[in-house]
Structure 1
Amino acid sequence: MKMIEEIQGPDGQPGYQHVLKLATALVEVRSLQGLSDTRVDRLILLWDRLPEQDKRRVVYPPRHRERLHTGRFKAAKGKNTSCPGKESLQRCLLGQTSGPASWPSTSRLVEAICSQLCRLHPAATRFGGTTRTRWSLILSDYVAIREAVLASPRLMAQTDIQLFELNQRTLSQW
């Protein structure tokens, strides 16, 4: 009888082979227009096989503070030039790839998807006279996967797949 060995992920947690299988299935989705019922069933089955720690929702650290700290070494020096709404306006003007993002390693699933996309896009590519960077190719594929998952009501209802936003800067620094 052949024993199936549990693959440990980069963080030493077992069950990483299930994360890799789901990530591979999600990477296949990047070029599809929509998810068929058969593909949704397969994704749900792969989700159900994930270890419990990979099914948990990602808890984000708070980015907003109700009360600013004052006192020695707690306040920024110099004149405060921030303007309410400035950051959100810059995100609107700079586009979709410049919003707030988390590190891919926050979730083993997102990290596995990004790793596979990095192998698919090892370098920049020229399309009709314009060069697209490696990171823009990876990010556009990730966004396509994320949108396909979010557009499937049944998949979202039966799983807690959480593909959070990424941006090029965070992705290239990861």
Structure 2
Amino acid sequence: MIIHLAGSNLGDGSWTRIKKQKIVESRVRTLALRTAFVISKESEAFGKMVLPTRFGLGAALGSGKQYLNWIHIEDLCQLYLKAVEDGSMQGVYNAVAPEFVTNAGFMKILAKEMKRPFFMLPIPAFLLQLFMGQAADMILYGSRISSQKVIDAGYEFSCPALKETIEATLLEMKEK
């Protein structure tokens, strides 16, 4: 049995204490993948980071010191498949790439791969929220999240390095 509640926030009332207890008591295998910033040619949030960089306006977002946890769409899809097929996986897993990077580090790599300048002055948080809406929260308030539990479960990332992931994704976007 697969219970899919993607997009459902635990705080929105859809997960009542009683519902949670019924799921636990049913002994159904439960698994949650906490998903990081997804890099793909279709990603609206990634596209909104690429756009200003394309025009030479690449800069850190907010303070730039916050971690930006990320994962390539290919790895995310493969993790979902593994989660469904691997009966030993249970509990909460972080769907994040193994390479840690700050927002400033991410934007520097993006600017370098696009052969555009990187500005040292960061973009203020309020402008980012205006431009990206709720998607900005994932970028502005990141913390360092580990993928070790996913790795321990036997998953091997096909896109573990950010530089190569951004390079390949930008190439896909050109071909689009």
**Bigger Cα Rg:** 1
Please, what TM-score do these two structures have when normalized by structure 2? 0.26
Please, what TM-score do these two structures have when normalized by structure 1? 0.26
More helix by share: 1
